[in-house]
Amino acid sequence: MKEKTEPKQNPAHIAIIMDGNGRWANKQGLPRIAGHQEGLKATRIAVQAAKDCGVKYLTLYSFSAENWKRPEEEVNFLFRLMEDTLRKEGEELHQNNVKVLFIGRRDELPQELKDTMKNIEKLTYDNTGLNLIFAINYGGRQEITDAVQKIMDSGEKNITEDVIRKNLYTADIPFPDLIIRTSGEKRISNFLLWQGAYAEFYFTPVLWPAFTEADFLKAIGAYHRRHRRFGGAS
């Protein structure tokens, strides 16, 4: 029997665990923070590639709720890097019709970063191109915990999957179709636990600062060869 040839759609939502900055730096004999700085280049490449591929949502795991365990200097460097970048590149993202969003526990972040996040969200609010979502101080368990608290506070008594979904940070964002993790680690590290229930996973040994457009396209190619069943029969 001939295999059915359906035109495959690119994933509407790609989420990336951008891992391996420290190891990349280590290999070059540089301090870890140099890896984060270099990782920014890969982030720009991924944003451009997502736009070119017509991806509607790109979620980037930028700082996990557990990354506070790192040395204070590294944590501070990361927040400063995010703030600087968002401040400097906000206008260009806006010109490119990109809508910038954030998920994660904001309260605990430095004030300047929170202000910059708010400004860029406001600036790009009405944009209709790529939805670019930064997960900052994000943890899937924390997100579900926060959702349960919100539901309790609202007085809702009837718990359904839909009620929970609507109380996640990602209430208005479709679930990811493809989750990419770089650096060879094969774990979820508390990323999009609820949303990723039926995501396709793509793992690559490439360290994040070395990630290229070709790597991005390879991940999409692998996605096209998957058969998503969502529990059904093929």
Q: Phi first, then psi: what are they for 190, rounded to 5°?
A: 70, 30
142 contacts ligand IPE (rule: CB under 6 A): no
18 contacts ligand IPE (rule: CB under 6 A): yes
Dihedral sign from CA coordinates of 43, 48, 53, 54: positive
220 contacts ligand IPE (rule: CB under 6 A): no
Please, which of residues 13-32 interact with Mg ion by CB under 5 A? 19
Q: Phi first, then psi: what are they for 215, rounded to 5°?
A: -65, -40
The residues near 74 (Cβ < 8 Å, ≥ 6 apart) are 32, 33, 36
153 is catalytic: no
* Binding partner of 114, given ligand IPE, Mg ion, none, CB within 5-8 angstroms per partner class: none
Rounded to a whole number of angstroms, the minimum distance from the CB of residue 19 to Mg ion is 4
CB-count burial class (<10 Å; 0-12, 13-18, 19+) for 232: exposed
Q: Which residue has the tokens 């890969």?
A: 42
104 contacts ligand IPE (rule: CB under 6 A): no
Toward ligand IPE, which CB reaches closer, 8 or 187? 187
Which positions lie near ligand IPE, rule CB under 6 A?
A: 17-23, 61-64, 67, 78, 183, 185, 187, 189, 208
Residue numbers annotated as active site: 19, 67
Which positions lie near Mg ion, rule CB under 5 A?
A: 19
